[in-house]
Amino acid sequence: MNTTPYALISNRDMRSLLMRYTAAHVTDDLVSAWLDRLAGCTAADVQEAFAGLGPAAARATPSEIADRIEAASDRTAVASPDVVVPLVRRPGAKAGTRRDYYRQAGVRGIRAVYAAMGWEHHPDRELARAVPCPFCKARTWAVCSPLSRNRAGVRELRDRATGMHPSRLDRAKKQLARTSTPRTEQETSR
Ligand SMILES: [Zn+2]
């Protein structure tokens, strides 16, 4: 295989993949049409997508290949929820959709983690991740940074079991209590 696997796909890579996998008559115009849609993908991503289609690759469209690459990159996000997936691999991703994308990937990641790891995964860790950290300012779903003293001079070490700052877990628990405890009406006050 004469493509460059980890670099962004080049004109030459695109041409040789089209010749290898599709039944199309590969013209310069065809190659640039495909490149327009798949710019930002690596040759390895594109090859994997073609290979995954099997015989259907012969009539594949650029959008079909782009969709497969996107789906594969979502699966990567699920397999390692702590890893931020670089969006360069997502063809056609728009800046405005990134936050939603991360959030959805995070939610899917957590489900997958629970399913795959069951009790081995500390549930408090996932709970804490559902809110931003008030101490180190880690965003929702991001893990806490190793920060142990903030600007205000407050010291806080991450909890060993969860890897999160305890105040973040507190916050998450309070939020959970607020949203999931039915209002108890009402033993006579005072
Ligand atoms: Zn934190």
Separation of 56 CA from ligand 1 center, angstroms? 48
Taking Cα atoms as reference points, which of 84, 176, 81, 164 lies closest to residue 128?
164
Residues near ion ligand 1 (Cβ under 5 Å): 133, 135-136, 138, 144, 165
Instruction: State how far the Cα of 165 lies from the Cα of 136, in Å rounded to an integer.
Output: 8
Same domain, 108 and 166: no
Same domain, 60 and 106: yes
**What tens digit of pLDDT does each residue of 106-148 get?**
555 555 655 565 544 567 887 888 889 999 999 988 889 989 9
Q: How confident is the model at residue 26 (pLDDT cuts 50, 70, 90)?
A: very high
Structural domain of residue 68, as residue ranges? 1-121
Separation of 164 CA from ligand 1 center, angstroms? 6
Six-digit token string for 82:
């702590």
End of a domain among 75, 97, 121?
121
**What tens digit of pLDDT does each residue of 41-95 get?**
888 889 989 999 988 899 999 989 988 888 887 766 555 545 444 444 455 555 5
Separation of 137 CA from ligand 1 center, angstroms? 6
Same domain, 154 and 60: no
pTM: 0.40
Instruction: State how far the Cα of 27 lies from the Cα of 110, in Å rounded to an integer.
Output: 45
Number of folded domains that form the chain? 2
Q: Would you state the pLDDT for residue 78?
A: 54
Instruction: State how far the Cα of 175 lies from the Cα of 186, in Å rounded to an integer.
Output: 21
Separation of 176 CA from ligand 1 center, angstroms? 18
